[in-house]
Amino acid sequence: MAKLFRGGGLPWLRAARDGLAAIRVSVGAAGLSTGVLECLRDGVMTTASARAKLGLDDDGLLEPWLKVLEAHRLIRATPEGWLLTRQGRRLLDDDVVRAAYEGFSGFHTGLYRELGLQLHGGHPRQDIAERGETIAQLTRSMEPLLHEVLVTEVHRVRPAKILDVGCGAGMNLAAMLNAAPQAEGTGIEIDNAVSDLAERLLEHRGLTGRARVLRGEVATLVAEGKVGGPYDLVLLANVVYYLPLAQRVPLFQELGKLLSEDGTLLITTTAAMPDPFSRHFDLLLRAQGQGMELPETEPLRQQLAQAGLRPAPARRLAPGAPLIVVTAQR
């Protein structure tokens, strides 16, 4: 190590460390996609029995592949055969961890693998359209960061009715309803498979009686009069960037009309700023070719004002993270 440092090898070390992290994410994702981790779900298996169960014709690759998974501590060797480690089981069973490995080894880095083609006029990406479930699960990882803001706002507003626009897997709606035991909640979700996730999560949390999920596009549902209201608290968490710029003010206007007199619109989002994740995410959104982009903080507040709402100053959700919170009132 000292020799590498003296030889000016710090950039080499950094490059190798980054490369190994990329490999680790791909190994986890391939552990899922090859079915090998799933194959060990119910207990120990030898290489031969795993090969038979998976119906492989692997030309000797399975054993070294299992050793890769072992080196990454996702499985371990026992005298009887291969066994899942706690980390391997977590990857299999925790939807958010699974989505992180699938998402980061898949479309998040696929953006750069295919960027050259796209820069030369290739087709827009289809990640948002095709990876809705993975994205919704991955976004759940932000709930712990958001939790305090949601609960504080619920305690301040004391809502009887809550609306969660683009509710994803339903985590935020569940957190708000738990903090307001008398309140009723409505989630709106455009993606059918994601709506199923939300309904399952709300049921699992015992909230079915006072929560519902409306399936469809928010502006359309509002225009059709299907959303009801008035709502005391309307949440837009990690959703604003799905809307092209031109559609943001009209949506804020419509949501403003759904607010009760003292109601609050609460927006949380990754904002456009010179941070590596923010810049990456903005590029990923723009690469979808649908006018999606990350909002900038002050323009977002101005759009709320243009919609006739009174925005409070924006706050950072966590030090160092490109996440902001803006509340607005009628």
Ligand X SMILES: C[S@@+](CC[C@H](N)C(=O)[O-])C[C@H]1O[C@@H](n2cnc3c(N)ncnc32)[C@H](O)[C@@H]1O
Q: At what angle are helices 132-139 and 95-105 packed, to 10 degrees?
A: 120
CB of 107 to ligand X, least distance (A): 13
In the complex with ligand X, the residue whose CB is nearer, 32 or 96, is 96
Give the side-chain half-sphere CA count within 13 A for 247: 14
Asked if 166 interacts with ligand X (CB under 6 A), we say: yes
> Comparing C-alpha atoms, which of 49, 46, 51 is closest to residue 61?
51
Of the candidate residues 177, 194, 255, 259, the single one contacting ligand X (CB under 6 A): 194
In the complex with ligand X, the residue whose CB is nearer, 66 or 125, is 125
Of the candidate residues 50, 218, 284, 324, the single one contacting ligand X (CB under 6 A): 218
Asked if 211 interacts with ligand X (CB under 6 A), we say: no
Task: Considering only the stretches 69-77, 84-92, 129-137, 226-234, report the one whose residues sit in contact with ligand X under the rule CB under 6 A.
Answer: 129-137
Of the candidate residues 168, 263, 295, 311, the single one contacting ligand X (CB under 6 A): 168
Q: At what angle are helices 171-179 and 143-157 packed, to 10 degrees?
A: 40
H helix runs in 106-214, sequence order: 107-113, 115-119, 127-130, 132-139, 143-157, 171-179, 192-204
Task: Considering only the stretches 63-71, 88-96, 104-112, 163-171, report the one whose residues sit in contact with ligand X under the rule CB under 6 A.
Answer: 163-171
Please state the φ and ψ torsions of residue 158, each to the nearest 5 degrees: 50, 60
Instruction: Give residue 198's region: left, alpha or beta (phi > 0; psi -120 to 50).
Output: alpha
Asked if 186 interacts with ligand X (CB under 6 A), we say: no
CB of 197 to ligand X, least distance (A): 9
From residue 57, alpha-carbon distances to 29, 60, 172, 243 in Å are 21, 8, 45, 47
Of the candidate residues 233, 237, 258, 317, the single one contacting ligand X (CB under 6 A): 237
Size of the site for ligand X (CB under 6 A): 21
CB of 140 to ligand X, least distance (A): 6
In the complex with ligand X, the residue whose CB is nearer, 166 or 311, is 166
10 Å CB burial of residue 319 (0-12, 13-18, 19+) is exposed
Going by C-beta distance under 8 Å and a sequence separation of 6 or more, which residues neighbour residue 32?
38, 91, 92, 98, 101, 102
Asked if 167 interacts with ligand X (CB under 6 A), we say: yes
Asked if 270 interacts with ligand X (CB under 6 A), we say: no
Of the candidate residues 75, 98, 131, 139, the single one contacting ligand X (CB under 6 A): 139
CB of 171 to ligand X, least distance (A): 6
In the complex with ligand X, the residue whose CB is nearer, 172 or 264, is 172
Structural contact between residues 278 and 241, judged by C-beta atoms closer than 8 angstroms: no
Q: List contacts with ligand X (CB under 6 A).
A: 132, 135-136, 139-140, 166-168, 171-172, 188-191, 194, 217-218, 237-239, 242
